[in-house]
């Protein structure tokens, strides 16, 4: 990262250089949802409300079940106003090839194959998600090992 700032200093056309550096940094720190394919299941908590009350409440319930979430290889993401956030509320440069309606308030479960396995409005019961995951063929294989 320091190397990029040195480059910026060295060039006289600062605006052009800044644009190039910004583009490089964006590419370096961007991640595609497809990068998690075959590695993790993804649980997206979507909320169109500014305060994100329902989504934050649902995420806290899942975070309190750390062992269950971890053994199912679940990643928790918050989605609001076209942006993704981690479970701590930090904005991510995460791209998805599946558009999420801006008015949707609920949970979307993506399987390890990247497919939508569950999509439901709030409130959501953790048991519903865990039972659904535990019934998946890949998860049953994981539980045998």
Q: In this structure, is residue 4 part of a structural domain? A: no
Mean pLDDT by 10 residues, the chain (145 residues): 44 43 42 89 94 93 97 96 91 85 94 95 96 94 88
Q: In this structure, is residue 140 part of a structural domain? A: yes
Q: In this structure, is residue 116 part of a structural domain? A: yes
Q: Please enumerate in sequence order all residues whose Cβ is within 8 A of that of 127, keeping only pairs 6 or more positions apart, or say none.
A: none
pLDDT of residue 30: 54
Q: Please enumerate in sequence order all residues whose Cβ is within 8 A of that of 15, keeping only pairs 6 or more positions apart, or say none.
A: none
Domain limits for position 76: 32-144
Burial 92-109 (b: 16+ CB within 10 A, else e): eebebeeebeeeebbbbb
Domain count for the chain: 1
Q: In this structure, is residue 108 part of a structural domain? A: yes
Residue 64, CA atoms < 13 Å, CB-side half-sphere: 7
Report whether 7 contacts 19 (CB < 8 A).
no
pLDDT of residue 43: 97
Q: Which residue reads 């194959």 in tokens?
A: 113
Q: What is the CATH number of the domain that holds 51?
A: 3.40.30.10
Rg (CA), the chain: 19
Q: In this structure, is residue 115 part of a structural domain? A: yes
């Amino acid at each position: 990262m320091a190397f990029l700032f040195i480059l910026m200093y060295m060039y006289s056309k600062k605006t052009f250089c800044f644009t190039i550096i910004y583009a490089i940094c964006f590419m370096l720190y961007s991640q595609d949802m497809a990068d998690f394919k075959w590695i993790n299941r993804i649980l997206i908590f979507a909320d169109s409300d500014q305060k994100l009350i329902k989504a934050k409440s649902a995420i806290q319930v899942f975070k309190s079940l750390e062992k269950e979430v971890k053994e199912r290889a679940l990643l928790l993401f918050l989605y609001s106003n076209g942006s993704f956030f981690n479970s701590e509320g930090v904005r991510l440069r995460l791209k998805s090839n599946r558009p999420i309606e801006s008015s949707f308030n609920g949970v979307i479960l993506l399987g390890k194959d990247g497919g939508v396995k569950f999509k439901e409005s709030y409130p959501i019961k953790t048991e519903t998600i865990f039972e659904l995951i535990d019934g998946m063929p890949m998860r049953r294989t994981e539980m045998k090992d």
